[in-house]
Amino acid sequence: MQIILDNEETNSLMALIVSQIIDRANLSAEGRTQIKRWRSDRGSASVELADLTVDLNQALGSTLDEKTTRLIRQRGHYVSSREQP
């Protein structure tokens, strides 16, 4: 399985997560302000959002790779990727 998010999808996901944090976490006014500033610094056409998208895709790929079992051909037979040393 492969999941790759583009900038718009990352922006939507980030907005949802940040909204949930602001609404549900017991944050001070200063904490909310800092989170809102962090979100606004990563607008839809910003370099910061592009960097966040790359980082998020790498994290998703690494997590999926760790949880996925693959068959690898070795010397005429197949071995599970979980059995590799």
pLDDT tens digits, 4-61: 899 999 999 999 999 999 999 999 999 999 999 999 888 888 999 999 999 998 888 8
Contacts of 52 (CB under 8 A, 6+ apart): 10, 14, 42
Closest by CA position to 7, among listed 55, 60, 50, 58: 50
Helix (H) or strand (E) holding 36: helix 29-40
pTM score, two decimals? 0.67
Q: Is 56 helix (H, G, I), strand (E, B) or coil?
A: helix
